[in-house]
Amino acid sequence: MEIIFIFLGILSVIIFIVTTIMIYSYLKDKGEKVSFLWLRLFMISYANKYKKITKQETGKTGYLFYVWIISINIALISAILILLIQ
């Protein structure tokens, strides 16, 4: 059972990293001032910018925002469950 949570946690962290880079790329293409060097520090504000921009353009929040939020939460839950199982 523990191996399932480890796999799920690693997979969700990979998805989180990929969506983080995709949000960064989207904002950069839209002309927003973003820094790859400070990405880890400012990612929450970048995600909020992404949410605001996509909501203005399409009337809905972009799917990357939801994937980003869900993936990091799954990673956190998996880590907690791994600790509880041991």
The Cα–Cα gap between 7 and 11 comes to 6
pTM across the whole model: 0.91
**Domains in the chain: how many in total?**
1
The pair of three-digit structure tokens given for residue 42, joined into one six-digit string: 């400012």
The Cα–Cα gap between 44 and 22 comes to 14
The pair of three-digit structure tokens given for residue 62, joined into one six-digit string: 């972009």
Distance of CA 33 to the CA centre of its chain: 19
Per residue in 12-58, pLDDT (tens digit) is: 999 999 999 999 999 999 999 999 999 999 999 999 999 999 999 99
Q: 52 near 3, Cβ under 8 Å?
A: no
Per residue in 52-71, pLDDT (tens digit) is: 999 999 999 999 999 999 99
Range of the domain at 55: 2-85
